[in-house]
Amino acid sequence: MPTGLFHTKYRTDERIFQTLWVRAWLVIFFILMLIYPFIVSKALLSFTNVALIFILGSIGVNLLTGFAGQITFAHGAFIGVGAYSSALFMIHFKIPFLLSMVLAGFFTSFVGMIFGLPSLRVKGFYLILATMAAQLIIEWCMYNLDFITQGSTGLIVPKASIMGFVFDSDRKYFYLLFAVVTLGVTFARNLFRTRVGRAFIAIRDRDIAAELLGVNLWKYKLMAFGLSTFYAGITGSLWGHYVGIISPEHFPLWLSLYYLGIIIVGGLGSILGSIFGAIFMTALPEILRITASYFGRIYPGIIGAITGLQEAVFGLIIIAFLIFEPDGLAERWRTIKAYWKLWPFSY
């Protein structure tokens, strides 16, 4: 009897989940997710909801930066565009939640492609400056167009609801988030099995060579910005309806840097890396809080010092990953899997 994994058709060779064992684990995972809100604490469920929102947003920035090679410092602002537009669609136009979320994604995509136009002529450091300018312009609009955004006072966002079912608790919102994130992950994972996804990767690796091979740089760079900011718009919509009130303070430049940190930690050009990075970076403040609480019992004055170290720890983690694990947590996970797959053999 032959052993190992053999394929006689291209279709089976291109499957994402190659074996029956992997597909069985996937079914078990989804079953666990169905009962997850009923077996964890309220605090852990709230943490999970925030992590799911960050996962969706980090996939968007990874599509643009990790796969297409177009660095962005404006992802936080685009998330803000999605949050405000979704809320305004519901408040002023009485559009149902699901439709307003999708429209927010398309509107944010339109705005993102406008600010993505400089990517057609510049790259590298100059593209960083262009996207940073987009962040500052959008942030200024959030603060000063107070007749639309309510300025720094904040905008009250209606609760998400579908056909009369209101997502007014963490448990209910978890299922909404999990469904949207699952769709987002599935689409992104399959995107890079298509012509569009491979064009993104070609532009990232060698844009001049890609153009010589017939890849339309103008088309695919704009498409990368459009897809990335569509994800940002959906993320902003889900975030706004989850927290209930949004203001410009929620979408600063720091948020854009945070998302870049997520994909560096998780792994550039990896959907799994976006998931790992989002979970890790969402857990980081909680780890610091627990550490501060533990040492605070022994040294009461140390609580404020440890809590204030969050930005410093964030920077140190980014530097450490760039030096010691430049391919991120996703590559470490692949290494661990390969080791146990071959164990106890060394080859």
| Across 72-76, 185-189, 309-313, 325-329, least confident range | 309-313
Q: Is the pLDDT of residue 68 over 90?
A: yes
CA distance 225 to 254: 20
Mean pLDDT of the chain: 89
Give the side-chain half-sphere CA count within 13 A for 3.
0
Q: Is the pLDDT of residue 344 over 80?
A: no
CA distance 70 to 56: 18
- Please write the tens of the pLDDT for every residue from 293-334: 766 666 666 666 666 677 788 888 888 988 888 889 999 998
Q: Of 125-134, 235-244, 330-339, where does the model show the most confidence?
A: 235-244
Q: What is the mean pLDDT of residues 61-79?
A: 94
CA distance 160 to 238: 8
Buried b (16+ CB within 10 A) or exposed e, 237-247: bbbbbbeeebb
Q: What are phi and psi of 50, to 5 degrees?
A: -65, -40
Give the global pTM: 0.92
pLDDT value of position 227:
96
Q: Which of 160, 156, 177 is nearest to 33 (CA)?
A: 177
- Please write the tens of the pLDDT for every residue from 41-58: 999 999 999 999 999 999
CA distance 297 to 236: 38
Neighbours of 221 (CB within 10 A): 25
pLDDT value of position 273:
94
pLDDT value of position 21:
77
CB 156 within 8 A of CB 245: yes
Of residues 20 and 130, which shows the higher confidence score? 130
Q: Which of 89, 88, 79 is nearest to 145 (CA)?
A: 88
- Please write the tens of the pLDDT for every residue from 144-178: 998 899 988 999 999 999 998 999 899 999 999 99
Q: Is the pLDDT of residue 11 over 80?
A: no
CB 292 within 8 A of CB 308: no
CA distance 218 to 293: 52
Q: Is the pLDDT of residue 235 over 90?
A: yes
Integer CA distances (angstroms), 119 to 110, 116, 269, 282, 332, in order = 15, 6, 19, 30, 32
Integer CA distances (angstroms), 49 to 8, 186, 235, 286, in order = 42, 19, 12, 14
pLDDT value of position 287:
80
| Tokens describing residue 15 | 């499957």
Confidence of residue 19 (pLDDT cuts 50, 70, 90): confident
Q: What is the mean pLDDT of residues 107-120?
A: 91
CA distance 177 to 343: 37
Q: Is the pLDDT of residue 1 over 60?
A: no
Integer CA distances (angstroms), 251 to 84, 214, 222, 295, in order = 11, 38, 23, 32
Q: Which of 81, 52, 86 is nearest to 157 (CA)?
A: 86
Confidence of residue 15 (pLDDT cuts 50, 70, 90): confident
pLDDT value of position 306:
63
Q: Is the pLDDT of residue 86 over 80?
A: yes
Helix (H, G, I), strand (E, B) or coil at 245: strand
Percent of the chain with pLDDT over 90: 64
DSSP for residue 160: P
